[in-house]
Amino acid sequence: MNDLLWLWILLGVVVLVGGGAALLVPRSRRRGTTTRDESAPTGTAPPSVPDAVVAPGTAAPGTVPPSTPGMAVPDVVEPEAPALETPEPAAGRMVRLRDRLARSGSPLGARLLSVLSRDHLTEDDWDELEETLLLADIGAGPAGELLDALRTRVRVLGVRDAASVRALLREELLAIVDPSLDRAVTTTGPVGEDGARLPAVVLVVGVNGTGKTTTVGKLARVLVAQDRTVVLGAADTFRAAAADQLQTWGSRVGVQTVRSDRDGADPAAVAFDAVKKGRADGTDVVLVDTAGRLQNKAGLMDELGKITRVITREAPLAEVLLVLDATTGQNGLNQARVFGEVAGVTGIVLTKLDGTAKGGIVVAVQRELGVPVKLVGLGEGPDDLAPFDAEQFVDGLLG
């Protein structure tokens, strides 16, 4: 009986102690509000808070909003801007192409030298020379001119030693590549009616797959290396990734890109906005990338014609550069012919020239359009675009 009595007394004490402990719990915890986790070790950081999305009318990123009584203002940490790249100087880049062509043992130069250094040149030898030139995509007309000149000089001079043959061939190849052509890309615009200098507007055209958008980005780097200010216009609005790709190229060297916020926008409107911005900012050069569609000549003419008309309301065109893939041979010449008729091409950019032994395409495309090759692509690197140099090119072919 005494044991049972003591058991009831003990239970009563437990109940009284539990009720008292409940009274000691803060009221906020009893109501379900959140407080700092008492179980967390001293000195641990509070849970991270997601970055806020700045809505229109709120404080811009990097500014501290006005404080509200009773509200703690968080520290604002500005993200570090990515370091800008410094493009390689454009001068001397063609030396790399010469070296690559020489190291590859260019079949064009090697075969020509091999035949011309024979003791006696038969008609079969001259036929072999002609075949070599045609396989190098030099074109029938230029090939005939080169062979006629070589026949005459070999017969008159009677040269046979390797050094003399090489010097003779170099002269004739250089003559048909034509070092006298003006290969400079215009980077200075005219003076407007208000006396202010207008930007030099460069329209870049060509079919998809030739590396056109990449070439625009690389050309921007060439111009930055020449201390020119540049604005890019992403007027290729039909290829979803084109504007992103161009903007990435520009951001690496601090060049702004004007683009539409939607796919399929009017390319002429984007081009106009780019030129307008370039004019307002006093920019030296505006590079406009265009769509590379070539379904039919009429559609291409309408699109490029509209872009040209709209652009020239702000500033005249300084250049129309046609981008061609050097590995496409005669197909590239067909593309050149269409764009030459439609766009008023003023210069040619040959990409992937280091990936082909068919260096004769330089001569063929110049003859086809009557305009010079101004830039050549040397490889995959960001600074592998170079102003074309006729002498360096011929020396590379001959090794």
Ligand-binding annotation for 212, yes or no, is: yes
- Comparing CA positions, the residue from 198, 90, 137 lying closest to residue 334 is 137
Q: How far is CA 187 from CA 229, 277, 285, 286, 302, in A?
A: 10, 17, 6, 9, 27
What values do phi and psi take at 324, rounded to 5? -125, 145
* Cα-based torsion angle of the residue sequence 231, 237, 239, 243 in order, rounded to the nearest 10 degrees: 30
Ligand-binding annotation for 355, yes or no, is: no
Ligand-binding annotation for 358, yes or no, is: no
Ligand-binding annotation for 229, yes or no, is: no
What values do phi and psi take at 235, rounded to 5? -90, 5
Token pair, residue 276, equals 């307008």
Q: How far apart are CA 107 and CA 104, in angstroms?
A: 8
Ligand-binding annotation for 213, yes or no, is: yes
Ligand-binding annotation for 383, yes or no, is: no
Q: How far apart are CA 374 and CA 185, in angstroms?
A: 7
- Comparing CA positions, the residue from 250, 290, 301 lying closest to residue 266 is 290
What SS3 class is residue 50? coil
Ligand-binding annotation for 266, yes or no, is: no
Ligand-binding annotation for 183, yes or no, is: no
Ligand-binding annotation for 211, yes or no, is: yes
Ligand-binding annotation for 209, yes or no, is: yes
Token pair, residue 387, equals 């102003």
Ligand-binding annotation for 206, yes or no, is: yes
Annotated binding site for GTP: which residue ranges? 206-213, 289-293, 351-354
Annotated binding site: which residue ranges? 206-213, 289-293, 351-354
